[in-house]
Chains A and B, each alone.
Chain A
Amino acid sequence: MGSSISTLHNLLVAKDLAEVNVKGRTIEISLTEQGKRVAKTLAKDEAFVDLNRRANLLKTHFDIKGTRLMKFIYETFPEIASMRSGEEIGK
Chain B
Amino acid sequence: MNIKLVTLTLQCRKSREVIHFSSQITYIHGQISAGKSSIMRLIDFCFGGTLEKTPAISQELVSVELTVNIGRHQVLLEREAESANTIQVTWQDEQRNTSSVLAPLKLKSAEQAKPIWSEDIYNFSDLVFYLADITPIKVRKSKQSDDSPLIRLSFRDIMWYCYLDQDNLDSSFYRLKDPFRGLKSRDAMRFFTGYYTERMNELEIELDRVTEDRHTKIEAAKQIRKFLHDFGYGLETEIYAQIESINAQLEVLKEQQRAYREEHSQSTHFTDELRQQLRQLSEQLGSEVGSLEDLNERISEQTTLQAELLTAKFKLAKSESATSILAGVEFEKCPSCGTDLDTASEIQTDECNLCGNLLGAETEDALPQTELMRRDLNSRVEDLEDSITRHRNALTQQVKRVEQLRNNKAELDARLSQELTDYDSAYLAGAREIDRKIATLEERSSNLRQVLEMYKAVGKFEQEAEQLKDRQIELRELIDSEKMKLGEAEENVVSIEKRYKTGLLSVGVPGVSPNDQVEINRRTWLPWIFPEEGDGYTFYNAGSGGKKTLLNVCYALAVHQVTEISGLPMPTLLMIDTPMKNIGEDVNENIFHAFYTYLYNTAAETLQNTQFIIVDKEYFEPPQDFKGQVEAKFMSPTEPLISYYRGA
For the complex, give the distance between the alpha carbons of A20 and B329 in Å.
Answer: 19
B211-252 interface with A by 8 A CB criterion: none
**Which residue of A has the minimal Cβ distance to B329?**
A15
For the complex, give the distance between the alpha carbons of A51 and B314 in Å.
Answer: 12
Most A C-beta atoms less than 10 A away, residue of B300, B306, B325: B325
In the complex, A38 has a CB within 8 A of chain B: yes
Interface segment out of the listed A22-30, A39-47, A59-67, A71-79: A39-47
CB distance from A75 to the nearest CB of B (A): 26
**Which residue of A has the minimal Cβ distance to B319?**
A47
In the complex, B304 has a CB within 8 A of chain A: yes
**Set A11, A34, A41: member contacting B335, Cβ < 8 A:** A11
B332-348 interface with A by 8 A CB criterion: 332-336, 338
In the complex, B331 has a CB within 8 A of chain A: yes
In the complex, B317 has a CB within 8 A of chain A: yes
Do A15 and B304 have beta carbons less than 8 Å apart?
Answer: no
Do A47 and B318 have beta carbons less than 8 Å apart?
Answer: yes
Do B304 and A87 have beta carbons less than 8 Å apart?
Answer: yes
Most B C-beta atoms less than 10 A away, residue of A15, A45, A85, A86: A86
Do B335 and A10 have beta carbons less than 8 Å apart?
Answer: yes
In the complex, A89 has a CB within 8 A of chain B: no
With a CB–CB cut-off of 8 A, which chain B residues contact A85? 304, 307-308
Contacts known (A10-B336, A85-B308, A86-B308); A15 close to B303, Cβ less than 8 A? no
Main secondary structure of the interface of A (DSSP, over half): helix
Do A14 and B325 have beta carbons less than 8 Å apart?
Answer: no
Contacts known (A85-B307, A86-B303, A86-B304); A14 close to B331, Cβ less than 8 A? yes
Contacts known (A47-B318, A48-B318, A87-B304); A13 close to B333, Cβ less than 8 A? yes
With a CB–CB cut-off of 8 A, which chain B residues contact A14? 331-335, 338
In the complex, A17 has a CB within 8 A of chain B: yes
In the complex, A16 has a CB within 8 A of chain B: yes
Contacts known (A47-B318, A48-B318, A86-B303); A15 close to B331, Cβ less than 8 A? yes
With a CB–CB cut-off of 8 A, which chain B residues contact A45? 321-322, 325
In the complex, B326 has a CB within 8 A of chain A: yes
**Which residue of A has the minimal Cβ distance to B333?**
A14
Contact with A along B519-560 (1 / 0, CB 8 A): 000000000000000000000000000000000000000000
For the complex, give the distance between the alpha carbons of A13 and B337 in Å.
Answer: 11
CB distance from A19 to the nearest CB of B (A): 11
With a CB–CB cut-off of 8 A, which chain A residues contact B335? 7, 10-11, 13-14
With a CB–CB cut-off of 8 A, which chain A residues contact B306? 86
Main secondary structure of the interface of B (DSSP, over half): helix
In the complex, B330 has a CB within 8 A of chain A: yes
Contacts known (A13-B338, A16-B332); A47 close to B321, Cβ less than 8 A? yes
Contacts known (A14-B338, A15-B329, A15-B332); A42 close to B322, Cβ less than 8 A? yes
In the complex, A84 has a CB within 8 A of chain B: yes
**Which residue of A has the minimal Cβ distance to B331?**
A14
With a CB–CB cut-off of 8 A, which chain B residues contact A16? 329, 332-333
CB distance from B340 to the nearest CB of A (A): 10
For the complex, give the distance between the alpha carbons of A45 and B318 in Å.
Answer: 9
For the complex, give the distance between the alpha carbons of A47 and B318 in Å.
Answer: 5
With a CB–CB cut-off of 8 A, which chain A residues contact B304? 84-87
With a CB–CB cut-off of 8 A, which chain A residues contact B326? 15, 38
**Which residue of B has the minimal Cβ distance to A37?**
B329
**Which residue of B has the minimal Cβ distance to A42?**
B325
B352-401 interface with A by 8 A CB criterion: none
With a CB–CB cut-off of 8 A, which chain A residues contact B332? 14-16
Contacts known (A10-B336, A14-B334, A48-B318); A38 close to B329, Cβ less than 8 A? yes
With a CB–CB cut-off of 8 A, which chain A residues contact B321? 42, 45-48
Instruction: Give 26 A-B contacts (CB < 8 Å), ordered by A residue.
Output: A7-B335, A13-B333, A13-B335, A14-B333, A14-B335, A14-B338, A15-B326, A15-B332, A16-B329, A16-B333, A34-B329, A38-B326, A38-B329, A41-B325, A42-B321, A42-B322, A45-B322, A45-B325, A46-B321, A47-B314, A47-B317, A47-B320, A47-B321, A48-B321, A85-B307, A86-B306
Which residues of B line the A interface, CB within 8 A?
300, 303-304, 306-308, 311, 314, 317-318, 320-322, 325-326, 329-336, 338
The 3 closest A-B pairs by CB, nearest first: A86-B307, A14-B335, A47-B321
Given A42-B325, A45-B325, 14 extra CB contacts under 8 A: A10-B338, A13-B333, A14-B331, A15-B329, A42-B321, A45-B322, A47-B320, A47-B322, A48-B321, A51-B318, A85-B307, A85-B308, A86-B307, A86-B311
